[in-house]
Amino acid sequence: MPGFPKLSDDLLIIILAVIAALLVGLIVFVILRLFTTKRTDHEIKQLVQDKRFDDAIAVGEEYLKRHKPDFAILVAMGEAHDAKGSLQSALKYFTDASLMVHGNKPVYHSIIMRMARVCEELGRHKDALSYYLMILESDGSNAEVLYEIAVYHYDHRNMKKAREFLEQLLRIKPGLIDARFIYGKTLFETGNHAAAIKQFELLEKYDPANSEVYFYKGRCLENLKQYHDAADSYDTFLTFEGLVPEQKERAMIASVQMMLKAKEHKPAAARAQGFLMGELSEGATKELLYLLANLKQELGEEYEAITIFDQIAKLDPLFRDAGSIAQKYEKFLPHTVFKHYFVSDEGKFDEVCRKMLDENNCRIIHRSVDQYIYNSEGRFSVFFRHIDPINYIQMSAIESVITLQREAFGGCEIYSVYGTDSDTSVHPWRKTSALTERESFLRILKKALES
């Protein structure tokens, strides 16, 4: 009995030594495992950075054969497959990793976010939305998730939902530029043009490098019938480098259209001609030529307008009404002298008219886009400024101008390329006026230009 305590002390020491050895071994094992995991994780990521995706995947697979699954390795493998484009495999590894950290919300949410991104790349947008909603359930103020959900609804044309999530997001993070841009587009596409403009005006200030801001602002202004401002906005858009050709051409066409609607005909025609000198698709070329032809008509340059309609018809005889217009005036086109008569320059038109009259003492009593009227000792001469025949209303306008002149009436001569239409033949003023048309008109014009 006296030696028992000594034996017990020795046994205790042995037991303690064994426990210590086990603890040391366990610590060493854990350290080695952590070191191995960290080293493998680093190696996989380095190989991915070097774009050696297959080598990275091989390293990860070798590790998983020898060790239990580790969160960091699973994530690294998911990243390697994602970078390689093996999206299904990437999704599997991210899913396995998510099961290991369910209790750690921030890490869990980051993995769910990656799974959602991969689903989007796979075209599985509903699955991606489900993942985003999983995060939103426990983190209702997650700005990144709110943005992605809003974009999902915008892309799927559910504008009501997109607007709802965007407004929720912008209440939390009002300075998110991308979200505000989509919000502006959402307002525009739902017809809230005035509200959309406010968003685009903010973006002009805080994101001036975004060319599309000016394009959409132009669209809003166009819908609000603020044509001049809309044209300015499209012009600003066109100053940006590297624009997508299709959208650039749309802006060119829209810019000219806005100037036409704002009745800025001369600068609009110059702009259309400038655009036509650049490289354009056939569709844009036809649209701009058609606009230019209409502008030329508005300016009184009708001969040029008809030649442009003929040019369009040669490209595409079925484009709008260009083919029928070209066919209607095909006999008129060879007479190029008419380009000197149908001009927008008032001084030039006055000069041609006086040469056709061959009189120096006549004075002009009226000028308009429809006609110039001269008086020489009571005899009136009317030069109609359109190719088409004079209609009844236009003849009445001529009569009104002349009858208001309180002086002796010595007769009226009307110069009109195609005379008067059938309805106007019964007009009282037509019956009392001489008419110079067709071959007679052409002969007098040629003689005047020769002089």
Spatial neighbors of 321 by CB under 8 A, at least 6 apart, are: none
Helix, strand, coil % in the chain, rounded to nearest 5? 70, 5, 25
pLDDT band at residue 23 using 50, 70 and 90 as cut-offs:
low
Q: What is the mean pLDDT of the chain?
A: 90
Does the domain at residues 339-450 carry the CATH identifier 3.30.2020?
no
Domain boundaries, the chain: 36-288, 339-450
| CA distance linking residue 432 with residue 413, whole number of Å | 9
CB 373 within 8 A of CB 381: yes
| CA distance linking residue 192 with residue 204, whole number of Å | 18
| CA distance linking residue 230 with residue 234, whole number of Å | 6
Burial of 3 by CB count in 10 Å (0-12 exposed, 13-18 middle, 19+ buried)? exposed
CB 102 within 8 A of CB 108: yes
What pLDDT shows up at residue 4? 46
What pLDDT shows up at residue 2? 53
CA distances from 237 to 56, 209, 216, 256 (A): 45, 10, 9, 14
Question: Is the predicted pLDDT of residue 34 greater than 80, yes or no?
Answer: no
Question: Is the predicted pLDDT of residue 377 greater than 50, yes or no?
Answer: yes
pLDDT band at residue 18 using 50, 70 and 90 as cut-offs:
low
pLDDT band at residue 150 using 50, 70 and 90 as cut-offs:
very high
In the chain, what is the greatest distance between 2 CA atoms, to the nearest angstrom?
A: 161
421-425 mean pLDDT = 93
Question: Is the predicted pLDDT of residue 290 greater than 80, yes or no?
Answer: yes
pLDDT band at residue 103 using 50, 70 and 90 as cut-offs:
confident
pLDDT band at residue 21 using 50, 70 and 90 as cut-offs:
low
What pLDDT shows up at residue 240? 96
Please provide the CATH number assigned to the domain covering 36-288: 1.25.40.10
